[in-house]
Amino acid sequence: MAENLPDVDTWRERLLALQHEIEALADSSAESRKPVELDQASVGRLSRMDAIQGQAMAMASQRRRQDELLRIRAALRRIEDGEYGFCGVCGNEIAPARLALDPATPTCVSCAGARR
């Protein structure tokens, strides 16, 4: 196998950079995920609905970021285990072009396609 192994250090760096980026985003949006105040006196009904909607959207993107962080951490673990770049389902090599698009992807194109 091994002659076409991806350059693990490069991928590790990219994954770590992605991880930092997401963590920074999560920090900066922490404010908008705070529970909406129930103070009807200072906030009109419409703006309260806006606030709730905004909070729900912030929560949803936070969940997406958490999922992404989990994938990135799993990919970093695979690097440590020497399994990075191989499909977690069939064990075949993941195409470098696919890794370039999504360095945290755990499966090859055909397995990702088979799951939908």
Contacting residues toward Zn ion, per CB under 5 A? 87, 89-90, 108, 111
- Nearer Cβ to Zn ion, position 69 or 111? 111
- Nearer Cβ to Zn ion, position 56 or 90? 90
CB of 110 to Zn ion, least distance (A): 6
CB of 90 to Zn ion, least distance (A): 3
Q: Is 71 exposed, middle or buried (0-12, 13-18, 19+ CB in 10 A)?
A: middle
- Nearer Cβ to Zn ion, position 8 or 111? 111
Residue 8 CB partners (closer than 8 Å, separation 6+): 79, 84, 85
Task: For residues 11 and 79, give the distance between their C-alpha atoms in angstroms, rounded to a whole number.
Answer: 8
86 phi/psi in degrees, rounded to 5: -115, 145
CB of 101 to Zn ion, least distance (A): 16
